[in-house]
Chains A and B, each alone.
Chain A
């Protein structure tokens, strides 16, 4: 019985102590998706609603990606899988954010030191792994869908972003870390609020490399050059969106 009261007391103490620093607020980071400004939700999947800069009409059937080392000043989260199709992982909440100027940044994918084969149970359970023959670790992104080919027939694409790997000699893989830092700069935090992080999906097909799905559609994981192109295009995909007070 004593033990019980001790614990009760402890619980009460802990829950109270978080109330007495007034400058700490709750911030939710919210990932939103658009195609050149037109909002994209899971309900927009499976129909040919979008066009790439190169002119291919596309539909999206799967979009999931990892962001890691998400940092809002000293608040951080190791990684998160964002899955638009399943509407999961779209938010990250930090509870003890100091008001004032905070810097917001994260890594798209996993930097090499974190991209260790098989260590994340949640990502294994949802089959986000990269085969060992390609250096192991995890996908950074899976964007799957269909495009209309030159004959206006449906064709599949698998825009899978991983660490670039040159497999010319299967016994001696050459790996290049193609994750990248997304620095969203300074945000001024005054109270509990939601910060939108926008992904413009069209950018993956656009800038600086105009993507031709007729050429680069499937089997891009073992394609070193394709991974380099994705890495370049990815740099302009994210931007800071609306900030709303809660």
Chain B
């Protein structure tokens, strides 16, 4: 059935293109999928109504770094999503163009095409990457602009007109095409080359400490991190689902609960990937922990009971499973093997 459609499509395509003489055809972009992802995971989400093209990705990158997208030309997406920090800003909570601090920590951006349910943000409020990109531009605590103005500004720039024409076959710029281009760029942000990846591929070995740390991560009686944060068989290092990991007894920020309106979702936030923690401090949705030691202490003895705490959090009455000092140090050493230097240094992702 697929090939039938494909051929019909080709036919239609050729019959159309012959009538429109000067139509530029963008070049399909080949996503380089890491071997482990290819082996272990289902295919990434690449929407058919926004296929990756060389021109679209390049345009999306330019827009991502362009301060034209903000109210006063002072910020771009990259101001909060800095490539050398795995696309975070190292602030507790992000500060927008008006100098106002939001209530959430900037999220790292990588492997977004493998967020299979396509629920983005800490609370899952944005469905699809294209839709997500609409938000920061008009959000008063982020770029605080207005899409009509942004589109007009881009429209008056002859270079952008050409680039949009090449990527999308039209020089009529609007929020839909801007977010399509940005989403294309975001889907190319892949992090899959850490020391642990190389270890799984058989190209390097772990230190005894890192190895023990991985065991702490995997052992149900100890860390039991793998039920939510992936494993050697799920190299995303997240389930992309929403959980309450026991940070608070009562919630200032309801998280998923505010989106679904279901009190059973209060205090639930998206499990972040554990790749690139070396670059993404501070941690958690509100940036409350400055170090990995604090994070590990939280899971080990700082758990706070609440009606929605995830059942995977053990011995909550004792604050957690009380890991030994050695297990804690080794767990940290293991977590840092998920650091991907190639990703933060990748020239394709820099301005």
Q: Say whether A50 faces chain B, with CB atoms less than 8 Å apart.
A: no
Residue positions of A touching B, CB distance < 8 A: 1, 3-4, 7-8, 11, 45-47, 61-62, 117-118, 121-122, 124-127, 129, 131-133, 142, 144-146, 153-158, 160, 218-219, 221-222
Does the CB pair B226–A218 fall under 8 Å?
Answer: no
Taking CB atoms, residues of chain B closer than 8 Å to A158 are 220, 311-312
Distance in angstroms between the alpha carbons of A219 and B220 in the assembled complex: 6
Residue of chain A at shortest CB distance from B215: A133
Q: Say whether B325 faces chain A, with CB atoms less than 8 Å apart.
A: no
Q: How far is the CB of B245 from chain A (nearest CB, A)?
A: 12
Distance in angstroms between the alpha carbons of A117 and B305 in the assembled complex: 35
Taking CB atoms, residues of chain A closer than 8 Å to B227 are 127, 142
Does the CB pair A154–B312 fall under 8 Å?
Answer: no
Q: How many residues of B contact A (CB 8 A)?
A: 40
Q: A118-B233, A133-B215, A154-B305 are in contact. Are A11 and B1 (CB under 8 A)?
A: yes
Taking CB atoms, residues of chain A closer than 8 Å to B42 are 121-122, 125
Q: Say whether B201 faces chain A, with CB atoms less than 8 Å apart.
A: no
Residue of chain B at shortest CB distance from A221: B220
| Partner of A156 from B11, B219, B233, B314 at Cβ < 8 Å | B314
Does the CB pair B40–A124 fall under 8 Å?
Answer: yes
Q: Say whether B46 faces chain A, with CB atoms less than 8 Å apart.
A: no
Q: A62-B311, A156-B316 are in contact. Are A129 and B8 (CB under 8 A)?
A: no
- The 17 sampled A-B contact pairs (Cβ below 8 Å) are A1-B11, A11-B1, A61-B310, A62-B311, A117-B233, A121-B40, A127-B230, A127-B231, A127-B234, A131-B231, A155-B316, A157-B311, A158-B312, A218-B314, A218-B315, A219-B314, A222-B220
Does the CB pair B232–A132 fall under 8 Å?
Answer: yes
Does the CB pair B7–A127 fall under 8 Å?
Answer: no
New contact pairs (18) apart from A8-B4, A156-B313, CB-CB < 8 Å: A4-B8, A46-B308, A61-B310, A62-B311, A118-B232, A121-B40, A125-B42, A125-B116, A127-B231, A129-B231, A133-B219, A144-B310, A144-B312, A156-B312, A156-B314, A160-B220, A222-B220, A222-B221
Does the CB pair A7–B3 fall under 8 Å?
Answer: yes
Q: A124-B234, A129-B231 are in contact. Are A4 and B310 (CB under 8 A)?
A: no
Q: Say whether B250 faces chain A, with CB atoms less than 8 Å apart.
A: no
Does the CB pair A121–B41 fall under 8 Å?
Answer: yes
Contacts across chains A and B counted by CB atoms under 8 Å:
93
Taking CB atoms, residues of chain B closer than 8 Å to A144 are 310-312
Q: Which one of A46, A125, A218 has the highest number of Cβ atoms from chain B below 10 Å of its Cβ?
A: A125
Does the CB pair A124–B233 fall under 8 Å?
Answer: yes
Does the CB pair B4–A61 fall under 8 Å?
Answer: no
Q: How far is the CB of B116 from chain A (nearest CB, A)?
A: 6
Residue of chain B at shortest CB distance from A14: B1
- Find residues 294-351 in chain B having any chain A CB closer than 8 Å to their own CB: 305, 307-317
Taking CB atoms, residues of chain A closer than 8 Å to B311 are 61-62, 144-146, 156-158
Does the CB pair B233–A129 fall under 8 Å?
Answer: yes
Q: Say whether B54 faces chain A, with CB atoms less than 8 Å apart.
A: no
Does the CB pair A4–B317 fall under 8 Å?
Answer: no
- Find residues 1-25 in chain B having any chain A CB closer than 8 Å to their own CB: 1, 3-4, 7-8, 11
Residue of chain B at shortest CB distance from A129: B233
Distance in angstroms between the alpha carbons of A118 and B41 in the assembled complex: 10
Distance in angstroms between the alpha carbons of A45 and B264 in the assembled complex: 9
Q: How far is the CB of A166 from chain B (nearest CB, A)?
A: 15
Distance in angstroms between the alpha carbons of A11 and B226 in the assembled complex: 46
Q: Say whether B228 faces chain A, with CB atoms less than 8 Å apart.
A: yes
Distance in angstroms between the alpha carbons of A4 and B7 in the assembled complex: 7
Does the CB pair B221–A219 fall under 8 Å?
Answer: yes
Q: Say whether B239 faces chain A, with CB atoms less than 8 Å apart.
A: yes
Taking CB atoms, residues of chain A closer than 8 Å to B254 are none
Taking CB atoms, residues of chain A closer than 8 Å to B317 are 153, 155
Does the CB pair B7–A3 fall under 8 Å?
Answer: yes
Q: Which one of A8, A47, A127, A160 has the highest number of Cβ atoms from chain B below 10 Å of its Cβ?
A: A127
Taking CB atoms, residues of chain A closer than 8 Å to B1 are 11
Residue of chain A at shortest CB distance from B313: A156
Q: How far is the CB of B185 from chain A (nearest CB, A)?
A: 24
Residue of chain A at shortest CB distance from B264: A46
Taking CB atoms, residues of chain A closer than 8 Å to B315 are 218
Residue of chain A at shortest CB distance from B8: A4
Distance in angstroms between the alpha carbons of A221 and B234 in the assembled complex: 19
Taking CB atoms, residues of chain B closer than 8 Å to A131 are 218-220, 226, 231
Residue of chain B at shortest CB distance from A142: B227
Residues 39-66 of chain B, each 1 if its beta carbon lies under 8 Å from chain A, else 0: 1111000000000000000000000000
Residue of chain B at shortest CB distance from A145: B311
Does the CB pair A125–B234 fall under 8 Å?
Answer: yes
Residue of chain A at shortest CB distance from B239: A127
Residue of chain B at shortest CB distance from A159: B311
Residue of chain B at shortest CB distance from A122: B42
Taking CB atoms, residues of chain B closer than 8 Å to A3 are 7
Taking CB atoms, residues of chain A closer than 8 Å to B228 are 127
Does the CB pair A129–B220 fall under 8 Å?
Answer: no
Q: How far is the CB of A214 from chain B (nearest CB, A)?
A: 13
- Find residues 222-262 in chain B having any chain A CB closer than 8 Å to their own CB: 226-228, 230-234, 236, 239
